[in-house]
Amino acid sequence: MIIKHITKTSLLLGLFALLGCSLVALSFQFTFEQIEENERAKLLSTLNQLVPTSQYDNDLFNDTRMIKNEIVYRARKAKKPVAAIMTAVAPDGYNGRIRLLIAINYKGSLIGVRVLSHQETPGLGDKIELRRSNWILTFNERSLTNPNQAAWKVKRDGGEFDQLTGATITPRAVVKAVYKTLVFYQQNRDFVFAI
């Protein structure tokens, strides 16, 4: 009798699990395109914060290049290079990887930096996000010579960039990733914009 009851309960539980998984899969299938479209719209909005539509006339989503597993969105006006918006990862954030968008004008100066995703501590490390503080704007108009190489660090390490109170590791990781991206761009600008 107990074995019969256990078997019946197991079959019922299995049926509910199958039904639940089927509903989740069906829901995902119907919402996948909308989610993808929303993510694309959010990304385009962020790209346009960095490089306004008045500065380019090409399709950023179709004028891209993959370099070292990262996407480079290339802004052009009248087919001439204007800016590269590069995705980059700061692998050494306090709580892991910090994904960034780094916009660099053709001559090599930063237009701006935005955080795409992170797992930093709310109230501390999340101040790298523009909606939480203006810290990320300190990169605007910087270049490899502004400041010099030695100053591309947080102040605690003898550099020029502020650290966040209670969260030095996070800004240290972002500064390092932005600097490395600028160096890469300077060394590979022609390759970045090659058709």
Mean pLDDT score, 51-55? 96
**Counting runs of H as helices and runs of E as strands, what totals does the chain give?**
2, 5
Predicted confidence at residue 1, as pLDDT, reads: 66
Check: CB of residue 160 under 8 Å from CB of residue 153. Answer: yes
Half-sphere exposure of residue 137: CA atoms within 13 angstroms, side-chain side: 6
Residues 87-123: pLDDT tens digits? 999 999 999 999 999 999 999 999 999 999 999 888 8
CB atoms near residue 124 (< 10 Å): 17
Residues 182-194: pLDDT tens digits? 999 999 999 999 9
Evaluate if residue 38 carries a pLDDT over 90. Answer: no
Predicted confidence at residue 39, as pLDDT, reads: 86
Average pLDDT, the chain: 91
Structure tokens at 97: 């990887």
| Contact partners, residue 112, CB within 8 Å, separation at least 6 | 49, 50, 103, 136, 137, 139, 140
Mean pLDDT score, 71-82? 97
Mean pLDDT score, 59-83? 95
Q: How confident is the model at residue 11 (pLDDT cuts 50, 70, 90)?
A: confident
More confident residue, 34 or 78: 78
| Contact partners, residue 183, CB within 8 Å, separation at least 6 | 144
Predicted confidence at residue 24, as pLDDT, reads: 78
Mean pLDDT score, 58-84? 95
Predicted confidence at residue 54, as pLDDT, reads: 97
